[in-house]
Structure 1
Amino acid sequence: MNTVLYAPRIQPDETIYSYLARYQFLWGIKNSRVVSRQWFGRASVSINQLLPCELQSVASLSDYTPTLLLHKHTLFDLFCCFTKRRIELEKVMIGNSALALANRATLAHLGCRELARSKFCPECYREDVQRMGCGYWHLSHQATGVRACHIHKCGLISQETSSRKFTLPSLVKITEPAPVPVMQVAFAEYISSIVKSPKSLLLSPSGIEYIHPVFRKGKNLDIRGLLHYLDAIERGLQVPKLITESCLRKMIRIHNEPVHPFKGLLLGFAFKYLSNEQANNTSSIDGCDCRVKTKRCTALLNEHKYSLRDISRRVGVSVGFVKQLAKRLEIPIDSRFQRITPDIERKIISLAIKGDDRKAIAQQFDLSVGAVEQIIQSVKGLTTWRQYLRMLEKRNTARSRLTEVIKNNAKCSRTQIRNLASREYAFLYKYDKHWLLSALPTNSKPEYHGAIMWIKRDIQVFTQLKKFIRSALLSGGSLPTKYAIDQQLGAHGWFTKALEKMPTCWRYYRRLEKKFSTTKGNRT
């Protein structure tokens, strides 16, 4: 009996893969190949959870149109917002050419396989079982990067599935729903709203106007700050690093740049989440925390000991806040509280010529590091001289370190010394090569120790040779061949190829060979 004629009704927010899996479950079919033959005429068909193919075949054997299945039970509309191949993608999904799906839909742009696993909500699963007897895969849960249910605010359970084997979600152990971070719930709600109305993405602004004002500086973009913020969003969503600087620039500058929807949705969610956080965390400037900081800033300004930057760092406010507060309280901030006399300037220059650290000089005269730097830069050539002194100090340190290594490892070669002090070796090779080559030990020619090795081997093998020949004569009565002796002693080829290099063994075997050949001749 053809059971396709009695196919079940597709449920709201159900994927095509789940529809086929539920059909297999309700009719008790164990092999997914049987389902593929009944629906598609082939033994094995790959059905993707997000963008399934063969929609025309599914529609022809059910009471639904391909258009309904395409727009209500797949993420076709969402992917079309991030690709220029809308018509080609529609033909692929309605037809049966699944090999072209990844290229048309930018699925390969994600580069993270672990985000493509099937997921289900335990609470939704229980409700589906109570309502219809079995659970099914919800389309909103399968969106890439979603780890929470937007309805029950709980974590999703991940399950490994195959696109060619139709299986339903299974809750083996009944447990309480796992709590998830607020950011993941907010991302799930954002994805759910986009899945319901993907055309809202097409109406959103593009280019630099799409970027949140926090990361805009006129017509310029704070790309580094935006990347840091996106990195924090990715860590909050527990997804790997996906948006790089080049990818971010393409999405902002190039309109309709083909990209995986998850990257575009992640960027849009980051801006929306930032706007919500700002709206929830706005506080007036006259708040309690601000009053405390104002009192601390006023006390430090009245002491006339600290610069604006020191006060901002101590209190935890911006320099502009301190400057505005000082102007409002009529506290002079532009005048220098300590004058740098010519005598102090001469001492600073003298210490700078000696190569003392800027921070130590500033601390000695109770000045800022910036004031010391201005004095040093006012003297022509002093900055270059200090750079030379730093390089000279690094060179002397590297020389002493390498000399110590050579002294402690007198028998090591140049390569071994380079491995023991690689950093110093590389520095001296680049900036002091002449001294390095003169200090390293001379390369000695390799010595051949083969003769000594063969003499030792001759002595060691001779004892084994006599034992083997004695046992062979007692058991068989005949002298073993050189090949048999070589195999017995390890099959090194010493007796078959280099017996002359072991004179003791060679003379002993030759004497036995002559003796046995003479005895054999007398017998004949």
Structure 2
Amino acid sequence: MELPPAFPDELLLGRLMRHIILTGESACSFSSRVFGSSRLSLHPFLTAGISRIAEMSCENADNLLVRQTLAPLFFFYLPKHANALKEDLLRGDGAKALRHSQLPSFGCGGSLHLKWCPRCVEQDIHDRGVAYWHRAHQVPGVTACWLHQIRLMSTELKARQRLNEGLPTAVHCDAQAASAMENEVAIFGFGLLAQLEKTKPDFDLEAKYRSRLNELGFITSNGSVRRKALMKAFSSDLAMYPMQGSLFPRHQTDYHYISELLAAGKNCHPFRHLLLGAWLFNSANKMFQHTAPIEEVCSHQPKGSTKEEIEQRCLSLLREGHSLAAVYRKTGKSRCYLKRLAALHDIKLYLMPKQLNDVLKQKIIRLAVLGVHRRRISEVCGIGLGSVEQAISSEPGLVEMRKRSRHESKRRSCRVQILRYIVRHPEAMRRDIKSDCNAAFFWLYHNDRKWLENVLPMAAAK
């Protein structure tokens, strides 16, 4: 058996579908010949029986597992179950593999879907003559295409024989732009899969999280997590995500959610880690390269010092001309924190920045005031995303202004969507608007209810 060559980022199940379409063999016959059972039900992204497929197609089983399924994502975020899961997937025990993936424990063992991007379908047909299922689109919880930054379409897999589903087809529809958080999570997931193809990383994920949280000011002087401030900031950014459920915090005081992610050895759904990783690091490369010090308590720091006292001590040392490294040794505060503190108090640091100078910083601030996305600013200025964020956060009031601008932009977008629908469907009732403009309806319901009630048709009398 010779499978068609794999396309970039192609899902193994999709590759098997292409083989069936090209050869004309029925799905039941193929399953019986390869797996010994015509009733076998293959999981879309944790496909079992890899060793048998590799043996019959003369390919490397590890390559199929790592490059064409989502197994590396589960190996990375569920290390305690990685060996057992890998053995089950290679051997062909799909039921045990599903249990070791912990998906049923997370409340995600129900219906399965295959997702695709309309723009990717058009591009694939143009470039290769056929559309195919992309692996990065199938990450549970991801709702956006990392490349085109639009919402993904979804097909529920109802039939037992998944190989009969076929390939994605071109559909003429108005592509819906994804929110910034959706795009960040999708890009982070794609980047992480690409990293996991190259090497098997071995590092302490909890230490990475705590190190980055310390840089952002969410770790106290005694090493505790500021859960209240962290959950408030994290939940507000997740409010724009279209999905809700067990994979998301229930509310801003759901501290158990963040505690599980930061606790070593806890089983958490990979998508929860993707959400936190994308929010903290913006890209998988940045997470892997993150080398900031994780020491949160310094032996030179006077015991019982308040936040204001520590800040004043840092300012005093910086004004005296001490280097960032010397101030860090004396106070335990990271370089990122010290740079931001110096910028807020107009303290000149005698550094030799390779790229981020005063001229470039002013350009970043001008673009930020205009509402340009920080990733676009990074591209225009040719500088890293972290440097852009540092420049924005050091300008007083700019972060709050950008949050207000995003909120108003979302409000206008939702209002326009509702108004256009009412104009196109003048006879529509409230339930029609709620069903067809679901995301915009509920955003306005929670954030602009008075306006929504004024434009909606009168409720039907009981």
Q: TM-score range, shorter-chain basis?
A: 0.5 to 0.7
In structure 1, distance between residues paired with 2:40 and 2:23: 19
Count, aligned residues: 283
Which residue in 1 is equivalent to 2:192? 194
Change in Cα spacing, 1:131 to 1:61, as seen in structure 2 (3 Å) is farther
Please say if residues 143 and 152 of structure 2, whose CA atoms lie closer than 8 Å, have aligned partners that are also in contact: yes
Name the counterpart of 1:346: none
Report matched runs for 1:464-475 at 5 Å: none
- What is the rounded CA distance, in whole Å, between the counterparts of 2:64 and 2:241 in structure 1? 30
Q: How does 1:91-490 map to 2 (within 5 A)?
A: 91-112=87-108, 116-162=112-158, 164-166=161-163, 167-171=165-169, 173-198=171-196, 199=200, 202=203, 204=205, 205-206=207-208, 208-212=210-214, 213-218=216-221, 219-241=223-245, 242=247, 243=249, 244-252=254-262, 254-273=263-282, 278-279=389-390, 281-285=392-396
Q: Which amino acid aligns with 1:42?
A: S
Alignment pair present for 1:48 and 2:43: yes
Residue of structure 1 equivalent to 2:81: 85
The one-character-per-residue Cα deviations of 1:333-391 (angstroms, maximum 9, x if unpaired) are xxxxxxxxxxxxxxxxxxxxxxxxxxxxxxxxxxxxxxxxxxxxxxxxxxxxxxxxxxx
**Pairing 1:23–2:19 present:** yes
What is the Cα deviation at residue 10 of structure 1?
Answer: 2.3
Q: SS state of the match for residue 185, structure 2?
A: helix
> Secondary structure of the residue that 2:85 maps to in structure 1?
helix
What is the CA RMSD across the aligned residues, in angstroms? 3.0
Q: Which residue identity is paired with 1:99?
A: A
Question: What is the distance in 2 between the residues matched to 1:251 and 1:46?
Answer: 32
Q: Compute the TM-score of the two structures, normalised by the length of structure 2.
A: 0.55
In 2, the alpha carbon distance for the partners of 1:116 and 1:165 equals 10
Cα offset for 1:203?
A: 5.5
Which structure has the larger Rg? 1
Tell me, in whole angstroms, the C-alpha distance in 1 between the residues paired with 2:193 and 2:46: 13
Give me the identity figure in percent: 21
Q: Is the 8 Å Cα contact of residues 132 and 168 (structure 2) preserved in structure 1?
A: no
- Contact 1:136–1:168 (CA<8 Å) still a contact in 2? no
Instruction: Work out whether residues 56 and 95 of structure 1, in 8 Å CA contact, stay in contact via their aligned partners in 2.
Output: yes
Tell me if structure 2 keeps the 8 A contact 1:145–1:237.
no
SS of the aligned residue for 1:12 comes to coil
- Is the contact between residue 8 and residue 23 of structure 1 (CA under 8 Å) also seen in structure 2? yes
C-alpha distance in structure 1 between counterparts of 2:126 and 2:110, whole Å? 31
Of Structure 1 and Structure 2, the greater helix share is in 1
Residue 11 of structure 1 and its aligned partner are, at CA, apart by 2.1
Offset of residue 210 of structure 1: 5.0
C-alpha distance in structure 2 between counterparts of 1:159 and 1:81, whole Å: 27
Q: Which runs of 5+ in 1 are unaligned?
A: 291-524
Against the structure 1 CA distance between its residues 285 and 122, is the aligned structure 2 distance closer, same or farther, given a 3 Å change threshold?
closer
1:11 aligns with 2:28: no
What are the ranges of 5 or more consecutive residues in structure 2 without an aligned counterpart?
283-373, 375-384, 402-462
In 2: Cα distance, 1:227 partner to 1:118 partner: 31
In the alignment, is residue 34 of structure 1 matched against residue 29 of structure 2?
A: yes
Q: Distance in 2 between matches of 1:105 and 1:23?
A: 27
Corresponding residue to 2:71 among 69, 76, 83? 76
Q: SS of 1:160's equivalent?
A: strand
C-alpha distance 54-152 of structure 1, shift in aligned 2 (>3 A):
same
Letter in 2 for 1:248: I
Counterparts in 2 of 1:280 and 1:207: CA distance versus 1, 3 Å: closer
Q: CA deviation at 1:72?
A: 0.9
- What do residues 121-143 of structure 1 show as CA deviations (whole Å, max 9, x unaligned)? 11211222233332111111111
Cα distance between partner residues in 1 of 2:84 and 2:109: 24
Deviation at 1:112, TM superposition (A): 4.3
Q: 1:286 to 1:110 in 2, by over 3 A?
A: closer
Maintained 8 Å contact 1:39/1:58: yes
- Deviation of 1:217 after TM superposition, in Å, equals 2.1
TM-score, with normalisation over the residues of structure 1? 0.49
The range that moved more, 58-67 or 201-210, is 201-210
Q: Match for residue 60 of structure 1? A: 55
Question: Mean alpha-carbon deviation: is it higher for 217-226 or for 83-92?
Answer: 217-226
Deviation at 1:41, TM superposition (A): 1.7
* CA apart distance, 1:209: 3.4
Letter in 1 for 2:13: Y
- What letter corresponds to residue 34 of structure 1 in structure 2? S
SS in 2 for 1:158: strand
**Which amino acid letter does the alignment assign opposite residue 138 of structure 1?**
H
Higher relative contact order (CA 8 A, sep 6+): 2
Superposed displacement of residue 286, structure 1:
10
**Take 1:185 and 1:201, find their aligned partners in 2: how far apart are those partners?**
27
* Cα distance per residue 1:55-83 (max 9 Å; x no partner): 01111121311111011111222211222
Q: Could you tell me whether the CA contact under 8 Å between 2:112 and 2:156 is conserved in 1?
A: no
Q: Aligned in 2, Cα 1:229/1:284: closer, same or farther, shift over 3 Å? A: closer
Asked if structure 2 preserves the Cα contact closer than 8 Å seen for 1:234 and 1:240, the reply is no
User: Deviations for 1:387-438, whole angstroms, at most 9, x for unmatched residues?
Assistant: xxxxxxxxxxxxxxxxxxxxxxxxxxxxxxxxxxxxxxxxxxxxxxxxxxxx
Cα shift readout 1:421-476 (whole Å, capped 9, x = no counterpart): xxxxxxxxxxxxxxxxxxxxxxxxxxxxxxxxxxxxxxxxxxxxxxxxxxxxxxxx
Contact 2:118–2:171, Cα closer than 8 Å, also in 1:
no
Q: Which residue of 1 aligns with 2:367?
A: none
Paired letter, 2:231: L
What residue is the counterpart of 1:476 in the other structure? Answer: none
Which residue type is aligned with residue 228 of structure 2?
R
Question: In 2, Cα distance between the equivalents of 1:132 and 1:181?
Answer: 29
Equivalent-residue separation in structure 2 for 1:34 and 1:231 (angstroms):
49
239 and 200 in structure 1: CA distance in 2 versus 1, 3 angstrom threshold: farther
Displacement after TM superposition at 1:168 (Å): 2.9
